[in-house]
Amino acid sequence: MRKLWLIFSQAVTVSLAAYFVIATLKPQWLAAPSLRNPATALSIQMAPKMVGPAAASAPHVGFSEAAKAAAPAVVSVVTSKSAPRHLRRSDPWFRFFFGDRESGAAQPQTGIGSGVIVATEGYVLTNNHVVAQMDDIEVMLTDGRQARAKVIGTDPETDIAVLKIDLDKLPVITFGDSNALEVGDVVLAIGNPFGVGQTVTSGIVSAVGRNQLGINTFENFIQTDAAINPGNSGGALVDANGHLMGINSAIYSRSGGNMGIGFAIPVSTARMVMESLIREGQVTRGWIGVEPRDLSPEIAQTFAVNARHGVLITGVLQGGPAASGGIKPGDVVTRVGDAQVENTAQLLSTVAALRPQSRVRISVFRAGKPVDVDVVVGQRPRPAGTMPSDLQPEEEP
């Protein structure tokens, strides 16, 4: 027994010594076969390249196909306006005191934005603030062609303008369904930021139905975090298929650049405005002549209103449609026709959708009681809009 134990201990000692020597001098001898083969080791780190039918079924990561489908139809819109000449510059006495130098004269205004070709006839969608009050408008395509553009019509209240160019074989974008967009959907913003050339950025839909921002009169914005900068105004917001979902219009910024909050006009709104401008040269909207205000608990207490929801009417235009129909200051509008209204944006949009000269029943809450009045809708005038400093268009100044 003692002899067997001695043999076992010596065998273990020799084996450990041999293992130590091999591990020190030839460690590769101890590696697993799969790791000794360089080709096999590489396959552990890198997935093999797929060929044949399997490669065709592999999922494609990226949105290059969407960009290729939409980008050719997105154009640059270059605008300019001649500098006004001083009326007294030809006056000899003016020239005597101030001289003939033109250094103090006003400089021509130039700008750059983007647009989207939406029809083979040459119609281009862009923003009103890109082309407003400009004398010369030129559209530049990605294929190098360029053409003077004619303004077909503008709608400041939605910030939409329609241009027309005379070129053949134009690339046309495909309209999408902006009403089907949901928060989290991937979108691409295509335009010409800062005039550097066509640029594609990606992001998601951050919110839908944004309103009461003070940007436009009629607001129903798609909010996105896709990078939008000056020059992107009028460009395309497309989905993962390259279909047009919106017209990029404004950004929230304190510095003038992208901060991850951009706003696009839904294509459903843009298309409706475009068709009206092409057909009639203007957008006809309903109007009743009231000054509305959102009904909050504080406002309800101030005006001694018992209604729980609706829009408070704080003023009525004398001789206007609402006054003629019997609406009074202090009334709370709860319904217009079949549509219930909860805030001023809903009231404005609902009334604007009505046809002028049509008759609509408006339900109001007056002195604690519901009252129905019939109003003959008028045609909405076109006021000039304003824009707060933090919410600005993205055109290049």
pLDDT digits (tens, 9 = 90+) for 358-381: 999 999 988 878 899 999 999 988
Beta strands in 183-239 (DSSP E): 186-191, 199-210, 221-224, 236-239
Residue 364 sits at φ, ψ, to 5 deg, of -130, 160
Question: Is 243 labeled as catalytic in the residue annotation?
Answer: no
Tell how far CA 78 is from the center of its chain: 20
- As a whole number, mean pLDDT of residues 37-49 equals 41
Question: Is 159 labeled as catalytic in the residue annotation?
Answer: yes
CA dist 265 → 221, 247, 269, 397 (Å): 5, 5, 7, 21
Digit-coded pLDDT (tens) for 73-121:
999 999 988 766 655 556 665 555 555 555 445 567 788 999 999 999 9
Distance CA 342, CA 334 (A): 7
8 A C-beta contact, residue 364 and residue 322: no
Q: In 3-state terms, what secondary structure has residue 129?
A: helix
Residue 8 sits at φ, ψ, to 5 deg, of -65, -45
Question: Is 129 labeled as catalytic in the residue annotation?
Answer: yes
pLDDT of 29 over the 80 cut: no
Domains and CATH numbers, the chain: 61-284+383-397 (2.40.10.120), 286-379 (2.30.42.10)
CA dist 208 → 5, 183, 253, 317, 344 (Å): 83, 7, 19, 33, 18
What is the side-by-side strand order in the sheet with 136-140? 146-148, 136-140, 74-81, 109-117, 123-127, 160-164, 150-155
pLDDT at 301: 72
- Lowest-confidence segment of 103-117, 132-146, 314-328 by average pLDDT: 103-117
pLDDT of 128 over the 70 cut: yes
> Which tokens in the block code for residue 343?
């805030």
Distance CA 249, CA 232 (A): 8
- As a whole number, mean pLDDT of residues 22-36 equals 59
Q: What percent of the chain has pLDDT over 90?
A: 40
- Cα dihedral 147/148/153/155 (nearest 10): 80
User: Of 129, 178, 206, 225, which one is the catalytic site residue?
Assistant: 129
243 residue type, one letter: H
Bridge partners, residue 191, by sequence:
199
pTM, entire model? 0.70
CB count within 10 Å of CB 292 equals 22
Distance CA 133, CA 384 (A): 13
Digit-coded pLDDT (tens) for 1-27:
667 667 777 777 777 777 766 766 666
How many CA atoms, within 13 angstroms, populate the side-chain half-sphere of residue 271? 15
Distance CA 151, CA 139 (A): 12
Is residue 366 packed enough to be buried (19+ CB in 10 Å), middle (13-18) or exposed (0-12)? middle
pLDDT of 207 over the 90 cut: yes
Distance CA 164, CA 72 (A): 17
pLDDT of 391 over the 50 cut: no
Output the average pLDDT for the chain: 80
User: Of 76, 114, 155, 159, which one is the catalytic site residue?
Assistant: 159
User: Of 114, 178, 206, 233, which one is the catalytic site residue?
Assistant: 233
3-class secondary structure for 260-316? CCEEEEEHHHHHHHHHHHHHHCCCCCEECCEEEEECCHHHHHHCCCCCCCCEEEEEE
